[in-house]
Amino acid sequence: MKVILVDDEQKFIIMLAKRLAFRGIQADAVFSGEDAIQKIQHLDYDVAVLDIKMPGISGLELKKKLSSLAPELKFIFVTGHGAKNILENDLVIKNIFLSKPLNIDTLIKIINEITKK
Amino acid sequence: MNDAINFMNMEGLKFFGRVNASISHELKNILAIISETAGFSNDLTDLAKKGKVLDLSLIESCNDSIAEEIQRGFTTIKQMNRFAHSVDVPIKDIDLLETLDLTIKLSSFLSFASHVRITNPGKEIKSVLTCPFLMQNLIYQILCFTYESVGPGGEVHLQIDSEENGGIHLVFSSSVELVLEGFPNQNIQKTADILGVEFNINTSSIELDIWIPYVSDKINLLSEEL
pLDDT at A84 over 50: no
Minimum Cα–Cα distance from B37: chain A residue: A15
Q: Residue A55 is nearest to which of B39, B40, B111, comparing CB atoms? A: B111
Please name the residues between 87 and 126 in chain B that touch chain A, using a CB distance below 8 Å: 111-113
Q: Let me know whether B66 and B100 are in one domain.
A: no
Q: Say which amino acid occupies B67.
A: A
Does residue B135 sit in the same domain as residue B199? yes
Q: B69 and B97: one domain?
A: no
Domain end call among B41, B58, B85: B85
Contacting residues for B82 by C-beta, under 8 A, at least 6 apart: B102
Interface membership of B34 toward A (CB under 8 Å)? yes
Contact (CB<8Å) B32/A8: no
* Total of domains in chain B: 2
CA distance B167 to B171: 13
Measured between its terminal Cα atoms, the distance across chain B in Å is 10
State how far the alpha carbon of B9 is from the alpha carbons of B27, B128, B176, B209, in Å. 27, 21, 36, 26
Distances in whole angstroms, Cα of residue A62 to Cα of each of A40, A55, A69, A80: 11, 12, 11, 17
CB pairs under 8 A between A and B: 65
Same domain, B116 and B80: no
Query: Which pLDDT band, with edges at 50, 70 and 90, does B5 fall under?
Result: confident
Of the candidate CATH numbers 3.30.70.1880, 3.40.50.150, 3.40.50.2300, 3.40.350.10, the domain formed by A2-114 belongs to 3.40.50.2300
Kindly state whether residues B77 and B100 are assigned to the same domain. Answer: no
pLDDT for A33 equals 94
> What is the domain partition of chain A in residue ranges?
2-114
Please, what is the angle between helix B2-49 and helix B56-85, to 10°? Answer: 170
- Cβ–Cβ of B36/A16 closer than 8 Å? yes
Summary count for chain B: helices (H), strands (E): 6, 7
Q: Which domain, by its residues, includes B77?
A: 2-85
Judgement on whether residues B131 and B52 belong to the same structural domain of the protein = no
| Degrees to nearest 5, angle at CA B114 with B97 and A100 | 110
Cβ-in-10-Å burial (0-12, 13-18, 19+) of B188 comes to buried
> B226 to chain A, minimum CA–CA distance in Å?
34
- Domain termination residue (choose one: B26, B57, B85): B85
B167-174/A47-51 β-pairing = unpaired
Selected residue of B36, B66, B114, B144 to mutate for chain A interface (largest A Cβ count, 10 A): B36
With bands split at pLDDT 50, 70 and 90, how would you rate the model's confidence at A117? low
Nearest CA in chain B to A7: B29
Rounded Cα distance between B159 and A71, Å, is 49
B70 and B102 share a domain?
no
Say whether pLDDT at A83 is over 80.
Answer: no
Spell out a b/e string for B169-182, using b for 16 or more CB atoms within 10 Å of the CB, else e: bbbbbbeeebebee
Q: Is A24 on the interface with B (CB under 8 A)?
A: no
Is residue A39 over pLDDT 90? yes
B112-134 confidence digits (pLDDT tens) = 899 999 998 877 889 999 999 99
| One-letter amino acid for residue A62 of the chain | L
The contacts of residue B200 (CB under 8 Å, 6+ apart) are: B209, B211
pLDDT in tens, B146-202: 999 898 788 999 999 998 889 999 999 998 888 888 889 999 999 999 999 999 987
> B70-119 pLDDT, tens per residue?
999 999 999 999 999 999 998 999 999 999 999 999 999 998 899 999 99
Q: Are residues B143 and B219 in the same domain?
A: yes
H or E stretch at B35: helix B2-49
Same domain, B64 and B99: no
Q: Which domain-ending residue is among B55, B85, B115? A: B85
| CATH code: domain of residue B108 | 3.30.565.10
Q: Is the pLDDT of residue A88 over 60?
A: no
Of A19, A54, A56, the CB nearest to B36: A19
pLDDT at A85 over 80: no
- ipTM of the complex, rounded to two decimals: 0.86
The answer to whether the bond into B213 is cis (omega within 30° of 0) is no
Contact B23, B109 (CB under 8 A): yes
pLDDT the model gives residue B165: 83
Of B186, B136, B131, which Cα lies nearest the Cα of B18? Answer: B136
What's B5's DSSP letter? Answer: H
pLDDT value of residue B110: 92
In this structure, the answer to whether residues B81 and B106 fall within a common structural domain is: no
pLDDT of residue A3: 97
Residue A8 forms contact with B (CB below 8 Å) = yes
Question: Are B26 and B112 within one domain?
Answer: no
Q: Is B99 found in the same domain as B77?
A: no
Backbone torsion region of residue B177, taken as left when φ is above 0, otherwise alpha when ψ lies between -120 and 50, otherwise beta: beta
Residue of B nearest to A81 (CA): B25
Is the confidence at residue A66, as pLDDT, over 70? yes
